[in-house]
Amino acid sequence: MTSRRHDLKSEITSWLSEALKNDDLQDLSVNILGNTDKGDGYMGDIMFVHAMGTSKQDPSKEYNLVLKCSKRSQALRETIPVERTFLNEMSVYNSVIPIFVKFQKDRGIRTPFDSVPKCYGTFRGENVEVIVFENLKKNGYDLWPKKDPVTRRHLEMVVSEYGKFHAISVAMREQQSNKFNELTNLLGDHFKEFIEATDFVNLFEKMIDETCELLKLDLDERILKKWRDFKNQAHYVLVDMLENIDGLKVIIHGDCWNNNFMYKFENGNRNVPLKVAILDWQVSRYSSPILDLSYYILGCISEKELEYLDEILITYYHSFTDQLKQLGIDDPEVLYPLQQFLDEWKKYCKFGVMLAALVMKVCATDKDEVVDLDDFAEKGEDISNTFLNEIKDKDTFRKRLRPIVEYAVTHELI
């Protein structure tokens, strides 16, 4: 065990020597503080590290780091695009975010989009990809409990940040189209690759059957039938619709479930978020902003706040258009009218509705029930089956999903 830990320590030191090379460090020493639980990361594992070194500017430079490391299982890497999704996220941190930051700075933005963790650098080796981040927990950030819906303040903060983020794409496409096209060309559609590499369309069909059984005593037959019939749209929603987006397109985050957001709170009061950091940009791509919005809102909202969904959407739209004005777009409401936004919401939010069936189950899953994708891949099983396991906390699953299904049907979203 001591030898294995020493080998890992040596390996991490070599990763950090490359990732932190701009700091020109000498005498780099590493202390491994821990890692997340098995199965917590689907395509990667997280390690927490404290590192120290010396440089010309600082004789005692100190780092509290999070290392996001790709899965090494060859079976898994041959099944799903592990390497390509990591390289995609590296492109976001090495190119997209820095260029977006400069674009905002050049225009003197008062409230820039900066809701991402600091990335110190990346490492790519044989059968492994590593991204090195600041440890946000040391700066007072924390995850929101995945079983609990977020508050209205959380919702409005995140959709406002998405509005600012999406606005950069629109302004840059108008003002620096060649540079923006270069950025979009860096990003692949790895969500599509993931769907094609697995039986995920069939998974979502089965998830709707499972949730119909779960909700049969909670919903009237008309609503239940509409939800049951929604499974017939699985291929359209996950494949055809996404390939034929004909509305506004921007660079999106792409993976908007609860655990990809960390919040900084006011004096420890978890109901008063001050800032948010958006994590996991592996499936970031060029597509409709409605995918981010619907995935986040419908995967995190409470039954109470669903009553105010229209207001939450307007919060996003105001953030988006206000940011466009700051970025030099004179008539953003003409460029992207409110009615067009609302029409596109109704057209494309099917994506978030369908993902909610899976997201709510993942959120209700206890730690000891999480299945590691490595295990399934090594056995030659389709990894989509990992999400069909029985869970103990069906009550949370049912309570979280029921209002989403009811809202989607009664508002004719599916």
Residue 209 falls within a domain, yes or no? yes
Residue 92 falls within a domain, yes or no? no
- Contact (Cβ atoms closer than 8 angstroms) between residue 146 and residue 62: no
pLDDT of 5: 57
Residue 48 falls within a domain, yes or no? no
Q: What is the pTM of this model?
A: 0.95
Residue 147 falls within a domain, yes or no? yes
pLDDT of 3: 52
Q: Considering Cα of 362, then 364, then 367, then 369, what sign does the dihedral take?
A: negative
pLDDT of 380: 83
CB neighbour class for 6 (10 Å; exposed up to 12, middle 13-18, buried from 19)? exposed
Q: Which domain holds residue 153?
A: 136-410
pLDDT of 262: 97
Residue 170 falls within a domain, yes or no? yes
Residue 256 falls within a domain, yes or no? yes
pLDDT of 296: 98
Token match 């079976």: residue?
75
Identity of residue 171: A
Task: Count Cβ atoms below 10 Å from residue 97 Cβ, excluding itself.
Answer: 18
Count: domains in the chain: 1
Residue 348 falls within a domain, yes or no? yes
Mean pLDDT by 10 residues, the chain (414 residues): 67 93 88 76 88 86 95 92 96 98 96 96 95 95 96 97 98 98 96 91 95 96 97 97 96 96 88 94 98 98 97 98 97 97 98 97 93 83 87 97 98 96
Q: Which residues of 211-228 are buried (b: 16+ CB within 10 A; e: fewer)?
A: bbebbeeebeeebbebbb
Residue 70 falls within a domain, yes or no? no
CATH code, 345: 3.90.1200
**What tokens were used for 386?**
């990992």
pLDDT in tens, 131-183: 999 999 999 999 999 999 999 999 999 999 999 999 999 999 999 999 999 99
